[in-house]
Structure 1
């Protein structure tokens, strides 16, 4: 079952269950996917759908950080619930150990040895980890390996 089919099915279930939060998040995801499809003027591939989901998740995580800094606990809870719903549609996240091993492989593949090579490594490693690891975590781990 494709992700879009799963979203449609889950939207119907959320309507029947009168789960307003889940329904709202699913509609936001579907709208983002539709907007991206219109922008590209074609059906989205699974990778493109994953990129849109990652972007939506990142936006919510950024909002969560801002709300925490502002002390808005009511909004923190709301956005935390939205993050949990979006994450159910993301692929299984890799553990930090798995990410470190992929980083080691990529460093040897690229032949990197200093912090000046971080850009080269990130350019090669992010397509490998697409949707399965947070970019900021990967960047932090790469920096620690090269220091």
Structure 2
């Protein structure tokens, strides 16, 4: 079953269970997926759907920080709930050791030697790690590998 089909089924389940918060979060996700499909005139695969989910999670995390800074705990809690619902559809995140191993393998493959090769290295890593690893963490480890 595709990720999009799983999300649709979860939306139907939330409707039947009258779980309005979960229903709203899944509808929001499906609307974002549909918007991207309409904009690009394509049917999104699991990798593209994962990218949409990651974008929505990142937006929610930014909102939580802003709500907490403004002293709006109830709004931050609502955003945290949505992060939980959305994160359930993301693949398991890799640990730091796994990311470091992937960076080391990519350095060996590409022959990257210095900071000038960072783009080449990130280009090789992004398709492999997208959705499975925090790309900010990957970038930090790549910089460390190329500096040393």
Aligned residues: 147
TM-score by length of 2: 0.89
Distance 1:38 1:106, change over 3 A: same
Q: What residue ranges of structure 1 are gaps of 5+ in the alignment?
A: none
Does the 8 Å CA contact 2:4/2:46 hold for their aligned counterparts? no
Give yes or no for the alignment of 1:97 onto 2:97.
yes
Structure 1 position 41, deviation (Å): 1.2
Q: What residue ranges of structure 2 are gaps of 5+ in the alignment?
A: none
TM-score by length of 1: 0.90
Structure 1 position 29, deviation (Å): 0.6
Over aligned residue pairs, what C-alpha RMSD do you find?
1.6
Give yes or no for the alignment of 1:114 onto 2:114.
yes
Structure 1 position 85, deviation (Å): 0.7
Structure 1 position 115, deviation (Å): 2.3
Structure 1 position 88, deviation (Å): 0.5
Does the 8 Å CA contact 2:110/2:121 hold for their aligned counterparts? yes
CA distance in 2, matches of 1:70, 1:119: 38
Higher mean displacement: 82-91 or 52-61:
52-61
Which residue does 1:129 correspond to in 2?
129
Structure 1 position 15, deviation (Å): 1.3
CA distance in 2, matches of 1:123, 1:9: 35
CA distance in 2, matches of 1:55, 1:31: 13
